[in-house]
Amino acid sequence: MAGPRLLAILRAAGALAAIVGLPACNKAPAEPDHQAGSEEASTAVAPLLWDAPGAWAKLEVRRTGSERAAYRIDTAGDDTEQAQAHVYFYGTGSKGDPATNFKAWFDEFDGNVGASAARETLAPHGLRIETVEVSGTYKIALTPTPRGRKESPVQMVKKKWRLYGAVVRTPDRGNWFFELVGPDETVQAARSAFRAMLESAR
């Protein structure tokens, strides 16, 4: 259920698929199935509001579907790749279950990172916010996962990556998911800004 990743990675996906003779994936790995989730995602609710850091570059997102915002974060430290932040809303039904979405994020890393995930609960503006943070080797699928297999046969592997994510629970607007993911140093440098964005949710 994770959203689009770095545009350069997606372009690489098409090139790699052509080389190995596999059809290129026309959407980001693990992108939500908009058709299957259309009923829940279209639930009419007032949107959640938040303040994004001014230094982050806002990216275009699809007008339909679950991703509501995306941002690009410049590199920090010795990192050579940028990080991205995404905001998702899956409607007020079962697709907005925090445990399910957190597991999908954890599954993008090697090993059972969910078991050792750092967790925290915040409560600004009367909203309950639950955060999770993991790091390790991150796997980006470059081709669709065949039926009966758990992983794509063609992956891009990123070592020393970090994910800092959260769910903002609202009493009448469903659950909203915020995800910051990228190289370790860059994510850690952007961590306080991301947390401020979470705490501005209203």
Mean pLDDT by 10 residues, the chain (202 residues): 45 40 36 36 75 97 92 97 97 93 95 96 94 95 74 84 98 96 98 97 95
| Global confidence as pTM | 0.74
What is the C-alpha separation between 167 and 177, in angstroms, rounded? 4
pLDDT at 166: 98
Whole-angstrom CA distances from 56 to 32, 71, 74, 146, 172 are 24, 6, 8, 36, 29
pLDDT at 151: 67
Q: For the chain, what are the domain ranges?
A: 7-199
Our CA angle for 92, 43, 202, nearest 5°, is: 65
pLDDT at 144: 78
CATH 3.40.1000 fits 7-199, yes or no: yes
